[in-house]
Every structure is written in structure tokens, then in C-alpha cells.
Amino acid sequence: MGLKTREEYIESLRKMKPEVYMFGERLTNIVDNPRLRAGIEATAATYELASVPECRDLIVTRSPLINEPVNRFTLPPSSIEDLVARVKVNRKLGNWVGTCHQRCTGLDCLSTLSIVTYDIDKKYGTGYNKRFLEFLKNVQKNDLAANAAVTDVKGDRSLGPKEQADPDMYLRVVERRSDGIVVRGAKAHQTGSLSSHEIIALPTRALRKGDEDYAVAFAVPQDAPGLVHVVGRSSLDSRELDGCDVGNTLYSKYCPTVIFNNVFVPWERVFMCGEVEFAVDMVVKFSSFHRQSHGGCKSGKIDCMIGAALTLMDYNGTSKAGHHKQKVIDMIHRAETLYGCCLAASYEGKKEPSGTYFIDTVLANASKIHEGKEMAEAIRLMVDVSGGFVADLPSDRDLEHPEIGPMLKKYLKGVDGVPVENRIKMFRLVEKMAMESADTISDIHGGGSPEAHRVTILRETDIESKKKAARRLAGIKV
């Protein structure tokens, strides 16, 4: 009980027995699989840094719910300071792991549920909030990591859930029992589902009357019977299995498709069941929190990219080149604009009736639109500064080859005084940060596709006050 160390976290995952498939094979040892372990290590960083003196004050705080120190990734924000801390912690971690640490989505679900379960109870006199708080106490006391099972596979995008040819295209309740519910469906792109102890499912879209079976929110352990994790392919993933040319020698990211094959959920873990009109609140709250999380984390990743570009400038002999300095400035201002937008979303946050603080949705969504475009631009700038070996560097195995290795090391050298091995390692890191599809594609689609951000911005913006300001200046009286 209490805050877990990195080692305790990894051992706690070892005790879980999830059903997992990868490359057509069933895996039994998840924690020691090199591909999955690199992802688990990224989440382990959220535990490790909590015990490092210079990060402890940022990551560890006191929970008013259990009155004990907790990791911030288990704490729904109860002040503006908590909202701001979310961004700062994510930037620190994004910078530390250079990829996705995978623990923010769980916090975004916990924060959402702490608001919406209260609102549902207020309208219907249900007991979801009390159940949720019991669940949250357990998460906080045991320092558990959670994953967000939000994105349904969705079948035909032009059709709603109950209009699909196959009704399981959106996760749904297939049986209601006295002790709980049985759910069926599948959630796609499940970042770090096996690095988490708990899977928290929320609806993925607004729902209407008639969609009651799809209006379901709950939590299950990642090894619940019937839950099947199929690890998705990502570019560069076989290098981790191969143990060669990995680029980021410490961390990585993976995203399984998670199938809910008639999974039983006891009532005490069900946080919404049938209240269709609250599905949209779940989606807007979750996605806005998550878009804010992204901005903190991705500005931290750009920091790593800037560090890699500057180091390669030193190694290549271009550190005095004016256009490279300009490109580094262009990377820095992109990181800071992203960070600033997420901080602003926090400072403009408001208290919800449940007591949880919610961020400013327009600013959070504006930051995500910025991320989708500007991460790509920051990657382009990093690759421009670094050079073509980002694309086609010979393998470490060739460098170790007794005959061609010495020749390669002679010809791959940059400035004198820098070991050729260091230059090669930095090229590999740039390749990983630019081309790890499980991470770079999340810049665009993670937390919803760009159009979802735009729609939210339009819906949440006070359009009328803008029109009024213009009419006043033009001397138009309504």
C-alpha cells in the first residue's frame, strides 16, 4: 500500500495474467518481453521520478480523499494548482522518456469520472459517484496505473452504434445480471494497456435515446477474463525484439487493440449504465483533459528533439551555421507555444459541482490542433538539422563486423574528438523520435482526430460575445 517504487510497480505487473497476442503468438511473460518491457519502462518512469528528490514535490501530492501522499497520476485535480501541475509533470516525463509515458490517459479518465458520475447522480439519484470514489481510493492507496479504453472500432463511420451491421462495433452491455453486467466490443489503439493495472472504459461519442446499451463506463483489471490484448505493430518494433538499432535505449510505446469478449463487470465497478445524455459529457471532459495532457508531454518531447538536433550540430560541425540556429529557435518556440497553451487551459480552469477542477476546453483543444501541425514541423526541422543518416544508417551489426566495421567507423565520423559511436547513437535517437509510429501518429489522432478538436472549439466558444464586440464598434444597435 502507498506509493510504489519502480521495482514494486514492475513486480505488481508480473503478478497479472492477461491474455496477450503479438505477431500471431500468445505471450505468457509480458514483463520480460523486450518490446513490451520498453513500454512498461516508460510508465515505470512515473514511479521512478516520484522518488527522485528533485522531482518528488512535482509528482507526489496529498490526496484529500485518503489523506495520504499519492502520485499525481491518481489524483483528479481539486485546484488550479493541480491543473497546472498536470502540465508540468507531463512535460517533465515527456522530456525524460522521449516518447509516451502512457500514464496520463488513466488520470484523464479518473478526472472525467469524478465530474460526470456526480452529475449523473444529481439528476437520477444513482450511486455512481460513491462507487467511483471507492474505486479511486483503491487506485490511490495502491498507486495503480490505468489505461483509457475510449476509442471504439466503430465499423461504418457514417452510422451510429445501433445502426451498424454488427452491433458490437461499439462496446455495449449484452447482459444485465443481479451482480453486474457483461460487455462485448473492442477498443482500438490502447496505449499501454499492459503497462496498466486497470482498464477504464468510457463511451467514445455522443449517444441518443435508444443507445442505452452503449452508454456504459466501468473499470476492469487488465487481466479480467475475456479481455484480449492484441499488440499493434509499430514502425521499429522488431528492433526492440532484436535488441539492435533501437535508438531510444530505454523507452518505447505500444498500443494494443483490446477485445472485450463477454467480460463480466461487477456493479461496484460500473460508473454509468444507460444514461445516454451523459455520454457526450464523458467524451468532452475526457478528450479535453487528454488534449491538455498531450501538450505538456509533447512539449517535453520537443525538448528532447531540440537536444538531439543541437548535439548533432556539435557532432557534424554545423553548430555555428546560422540557418541551423534559426531552425532550433523555430523548434523552441513551438514547444513553448504548446506548453503555454496548456498552462493557459489550466489557469482558466473552473470548479465543477463535484469539486473537481476542469480545464478551459477551447484552450485545450487549440493546443491540440497546434500540436497536430507543429509536432510534424518540429520533426521536420530536427531531421533537416540532423542529416540524411536519419534515414539509412548502417546497422550496429555492420559496425561491429570485423571487416567492414572499421571502414564504416572511419567514414561515419563527424568532427574530430567526438567518438563515431556517439554520432551514430544520436542519429538513431533522431530516427526513433521522428519515426516511431505509435508515438508520432498520436500527435495527429491521439485524443481524437483534428476535426474533433475544431468541432469542440466551435461548440465551446462564446460566439455571441465576439459578434457583440464587433457590432458595438461598428455602431450597430440590436
Ligand X SMILES: Cc1cc2nc3c(=O)[nH]c(=O)nc-3n(C[C@H](O)[C@H](O)[C@H](O)COP(=O)(O)OP(=O)(O)OC[C@H]3O[C@@H](n4cnc5c(N)ncnc54)[C@H](O)[C@@H]3O)c2cc1C
Please report, as ranges, the residues that interact with ligand X according to CB under 6 A.
105, 148-151, 154, 157-158, 187, 189-191, 255, 438, 441-442, 445-449, 451
For ligand X, give the closer residue by CB, 187 or 423: 187
The CB-of-354 to ligand X minimum distance in angstroms stands at 23
Q: How far apart (Å, rounded) are the C-alpha atoms in residues 36 and 30?
A: 7
Grid cell locating 54: 528533485
Closest CA to 20 of 258, 196, 218, 229: 229
- Output the smallest distance, CB 294 to ligand X, in A: 10
Q: Considering beta carbons, is residue 201 or 426 the nearer one to ligand X?
A: 201
User: 352 vs 63, 136, 171, CA distance in Å?
Assistant: 18, 18, 28
The nearer residue to ligand X, 77 or 446, going by C-beta atoms, is 446
Residue 304 CA to residue 312 CA, distance in Å, equals 12
Q: Which residues contact 337 (CB under 8 A, 6 or more apart)?
A: 370, 374
DSSP string, 16-37: ---EEEETTEEES--TT-HHHH
Q: Render 320-331 in DSSP notation, one character per residue.
A: T-HHHHHHHHHH
Alpha carbon 427 to chain centroid distance? 25
The DSSP element (H or E) to which 63 belongs, if any, is strand 60-63
In the complex, least distance from residue 216 CB atom to ligand X, rounded to whole angstroms: 14
Which residue, 92 or 253, has its beta carbon nearer to ligand X?
253
| Residue 35 vs residues 28, 42, 196, 390: alpha-carbon distances, Å | 14, 12, 16, 22
Shortest distance, CB of residue 329 to ligand X, whole angstroms?
A: 29
Choose between 146 and 338: whose C-beta lies nearer to ligand X. Answer: 146
CB atoms within 10 A of CB 133: 18
Residues 6+ apart with CB under 8 A from 118: 129, 352, 353, 354
CB of 38 to ligand X, least distance (A): 15
The residues that bridge with 181 in the sheet, in sequence order, are: 176, 265
- Among residues 17 and 445, whose Cβ is nearest to ligand X? 445
Under DSSP, is residue 114 helix (H, G, I), strand (E, B) or coil? helix
The least CB distance from residue 299 to ligand X, in Å, is 18
β-partners of residue 152 are: 187
Complex with ligand X: residue 102 or 140, whichever CB lies closer: 102
We find the least distance from the C-beta atom of residue 98 to ligand X, in angstroms, to be 15
What single-letter DSSP state applies at residue 353? T
Collapsing DSSP states into helix, strand and coil, what is residue 268?
A: helix
Nearer to ligand X, 157 or 477 (CB): 157
**Grid coordinates representing 237?**
518494433
C-alpha grid cell, residue 154: 466503430
Residues counted in the chain:
478
Q: How far is CA 256 from CA 29, 90, 186, in A?
A: 16, 22, 11
Least spacing, CB of residue 406 vs ligand X, in Å = 40
Q: Bridge-partner residues for 62, per DSSP? A: 69
Name the minimum Å distance from CB 445 to ligand X: 4
Q: With contact defined as beta carbons under 8 Å apart, do 217 and 205 qualify?
A: no
Closest approach, Cβ 149 to ligand X, in A, equals 6
Smallest gap from Cβ 439 to ligand X, in A, equals 7
Between 197 and 423, CB nearer to ligand X: 197
Q: Which is nearer to ligand X, 18 or 447 (CB)?
A: 447
Of 169 and 343, which CB lies nearer to ligand X in the complex structure?
Answer: 169
Q: Which residues, 6 or more positions from 377, have their beta carbon under 8 angstroms from its beta carbon?
A: 330, 334
For residue 440, the minimal CB distance to ligand X (Å) is 8
C-alpha cell read off for 474: 461598428
Could you give the 3-state DSSP secondary structure of residue 262? Answer: strand
Q: Which is nearer to ligand X, 61 or 367 (CB)?
A: 367
